[in-house]
């Protein structure tokens, strides 16, 4: 993709971030509490995000993508999350799907789906996790059986973001041998006969987007719905996660920065023991540490983004390190911002508790933070010269997805 992304100047980048900030300030932030309380999925706001070019941020331009670098992308997600981390996180998942179809799809698939996704006229879903296979994603059991010119898909996908709202689902299903090499990816339309959705999960956070099981009961799709080659589905799914992890990490940065800004304001206003909290050195130390931790996390996220932009062979490891570090730091900073608000931090009126709830899941999905450690450790301890599945072939975009293939949704 390096030959197709736009390298922005500092001025262009500032203009892009300014437009995203205005969108977050006007379209996301004012309604975040209501969306959280009423569990509203903001279709209209998402369509406006599409008009702004946020439906295919790192998708090529031919079918409406914005073709920005991952370095610009993470800066965009940080700004979006300052407005509403739950909506920003859904935009991330949608972008993963648009990118997968643009990168691995043939011309017909790209023409059919990518323009609608980049415009956010339609939404996307990413279906890897199953009830019996989360971290151990290479062990999925959803099957896709060839029947004449079709495949027939049967199984259950668990925890699917945007389920019931999406027009297209990238579904990873088993077409062959056990393990990663027997998995293929399929484009399943949201209205396919046999496709249905379980009830929305009742969650701690992320109320602005539905999370539901996706049930495939003999869903028949034409062979032309196969994304990439048979047996490449796991590699495709993993390569999309590099970007997804960076975006989620950036969403943690944005949510936490917002909470820290509120805390800084609050400690100036709140008087205790005859002076504003801000006068106390222990408070000053706390906000200094919070800012420092976020800055360190931001640098790691930028490093991961640079690794993907440069197709670095260690991109997967650097993205995993950034995801683990930034989502831990983001949750910790938001939680400390809540503590600095005392009892008021626990009230919905202040918005901090919502952000804490929203950021908590970032430590779990797109690969748990334990799995991020597994990826880093395996990469460090891998015998020199041993090749990963992705390095044995595939596109340059796949190769930039690196190794650590065993687990990770």
Ligand X SMILES: Cc1cc2nc3c(=O)[nH]c(=O)nc-3n(C[C@H](O)[C@H](O)[C@H](O)COP(=O)(O)OP(=O)(O)OC[C@H]3O[C@@H](n4cnc5c(N)ncnc54)[C@H](O)[C@@H]3O)c2cc1C
Looking at the annotation, which residues are catalytic?
A: 366
Least distance from ligand X to the Cβ atom of residue 320, Å? 13
Q: How far is CA 364 from CA 215, 241, 389, in A?
A: 22, 13, 25
Stretch that binds ligand X, among 101-109, 158-166, 185-193, 328-336 (CB under 6 A): 158-166
Q: Out of 8, 135, 154, 196, which residue is the one contacting ligand X (CB under 6 A)?
A: 135
* Residue 127 contacts ligand X per CB under 6 A: yes
* Residue 87 contacts ligand X per CB under 6 A: no
Least distance from ligand X to the Cβ atom of residue 290, Å? 25
Nearest residue (CB) to ligand X, 95 versus 211: 211
* Residue 129 contacts ligand X per CB under 6 A: yes
Least distance from ligand X to the Cβ atom of residue 100, Å? 12
CA 113 – CA 370 distance, rounded (Å) = 34
Nearest residue (CB) to ligand X, 132 versus 176: 132
| Residue 252 Cα to chain centre, angstroms | 11
Least distance from ligand X to the Cβ atom of residue 368, Å? 3
Q: How far is CA 6 from CA 3, 12, 68, 125, 391, in A?
A: 8, 11, 5, 26, 26
Q: Give the position of tokens 């790192």.
A: 58
Nearest residue (CB) to ligand X, 248 versus 263: 248
Least distance from ligand X to the Cβ atom of residue 366, Å? 6
Least distance from ligand X to the Cβ atom of residue 159, Å? 3
CA 190 – CA 125 distance, rounded (Å) = 9
Dihedral angle over CA of 302, 305, 310, 316, nearest 10: 120
* Residue 361 contacts ligand X per CB under 6 A: yes
Least distance from ligand X to the Cβ atom of residue 239, Å? 15
* Residue 365 contacts ligand X per CB under 6 A: yes
Nearest residue (CB) to ligand X, 86 versus 397: 86
Nearest residue (CB) to ligand X, 18 versus 132: 132
Mark residues 309-348: x for contact with ligand X by CB under 6 A, - for none.
Answer: ----------------------------------------
Nearest residue (CB) to ligand X, 23 versus 159: 159
Among the residues of 176-280, which ranges form H helices? 233-269
Q: Out of 1, 160, 180, 333, which residue is the one contacting ligand X (CB under 6 A)?
A: 160
Mark residues 371-390: x for contact with ligand X by CB under 6 A, - for none.
Answer: x--x----------------
CA 255 – CA 9 distance, rounded (Å) = 26
* Residue 364 contacts ligand X per CB under 6 A: yes
Q: How far is CA 252 from CA 242, 258, 352, 368, in A?
A: 16, 10, 13, 14
Given a contact cutoff of 8 angstroms between Cβ atoms, the answer to whether 94 and 120 are in contact is yes
Task: Establish how many alpha carbons lie within 13 A of residue 340's alpha carbon, considering only the half-sphere containing its beta carbon.
Answer: 30
Q: 222 in helix, strand or coil?
A: strand
Nearest residue (CB) to ligand X, 115 versus 134: 134
CA–CA–CA angle 39, 209, 62 (5° rounding) = 145
Stretch that binds ligand X, among 35-43, 129-137, 138-146, 391-399 (CB under 6 A): 129-137
> What is the residue-wise DSSP string for 276-311?
EGGGSHHHHHHHHHHHHHHHHHHHHHHHHHHHHHTT
Mark residues 182-211: x for contact with ligand X by CB under 6 A, - for none.
Answer: ---------------------x--x----x
Nearest residue (CB) to ligand X, 322 versus 340: 322
CA 131 – CA 109 distance, rounded (Å) = 29
Here the tokens at position 286 are 């706390």
Stretch that binds ligand X, among 143-151, 217-225, 249-257, 368-376 (CB under 6 A): 368-376
CA 317 – CA 321 distance, rounded (Å) = 6
* Residue 93 contacts ligand X per CB under 6 A: yes
* Residue 156 contacts ligand X per CB under 6 A: no
CA 370 – CA 368 distance, rounded (Å) = 5
Q: How far is CA 326 from CA 85, 228, 296, 365, in A?
A: 14, 32, 8, 13
CA nearest 186: which of 215, 136, 152, 148? Answer: 152
* Residue 215 contacts ligand X per CB under 6 A: no
* Residue 68 contacts ligand X per CB under 6 A: no
For ligand X, the binding residues (CB under 6 A) are 93, 126-129, 134-135, 159-161, 203, 206, 211, 361, 364-365, 367-368, 370-371, 374, 409
């Amino acid at each position: 993709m390096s030959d197709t992304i736009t390298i922005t100047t500092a001025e262009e980048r500032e203009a892009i971030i300014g437009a995203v900030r205005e969108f977050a300030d006007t379209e996301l932030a004012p309604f975040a509490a209501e969306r959280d309380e009423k569990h509203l999925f903001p279709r209209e706001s998402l369509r406006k995000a599409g008009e702004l070019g946020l439906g295919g941020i790192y998708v090529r331009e031919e079918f409406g993508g914005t073709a920005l670098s991952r370095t610009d992308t993470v800066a965009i997600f940080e700004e979006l999350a300052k407005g509403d981390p739950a909506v920003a996180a859904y935009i991330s998942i949608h972008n993963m799907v648009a990118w997968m179809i643009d990168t691995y799809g043939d011309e017909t698939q790209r023409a059919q789906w990518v323009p609608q996704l980049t415009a956010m006229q339609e939404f996307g879903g990413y279906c890897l996790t199953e009830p019996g296979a989360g971290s151990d994603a290479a062990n999925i059991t959803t099957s896709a059986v060839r029947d004449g010119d079709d495949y027939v898909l049967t199984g259950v996908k668990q925890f699917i973001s945007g389920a019931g709202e999406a027009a297209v689902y990238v579904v990873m299903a088993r077409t062959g041998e056990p393990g990663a090499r027997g998995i293929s990816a399929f484009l399943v339309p949201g209205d396919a006969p046999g496709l249905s959705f379980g009830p929305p999960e009742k969650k701690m956070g992320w109320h602005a987007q539905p999370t539901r099981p996706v049930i495939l009961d003999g869903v028949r799709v034409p062979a032309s719905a196969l994304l990439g080659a048979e047996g490449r589905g796991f590699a495709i799914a993993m390569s999309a996660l590099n970007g997804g992890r960076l975006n989620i990490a950036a969403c943690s940065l944005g949510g936490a920065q917002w909470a820290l800004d509120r805390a800084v304001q609050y400690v100036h206003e709140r008087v205790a023991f005859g002076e504003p909290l801000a006068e106390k050195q222990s408070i000053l130390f706390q906000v200094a540490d919070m800012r420092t931790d976020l800055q360190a996390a931001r640098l790691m996220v930028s490093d991961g983004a640079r690794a993907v932009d440069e197709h670095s062979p260690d991109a997967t490891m650097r993205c995993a390190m950034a995801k683990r570090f930034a989502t831990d730091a983001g949750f910790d900073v938001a939680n400390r911002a809540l503590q600095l608000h005392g009892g008021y931090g626990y009230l919905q009126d202040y918005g901090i508790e919502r952000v804490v709830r929203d950021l908590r899941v970032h430590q779990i999905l797109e690969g748990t933070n334990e799995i991020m450690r597994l990826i880093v450790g395996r990469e460090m301890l891998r015998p020199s010269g041993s090749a990963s599945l992705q390095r044995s072939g595939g596109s340059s975009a796949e190769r930039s997805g690196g190794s650590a293939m065993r687990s990770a949704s």
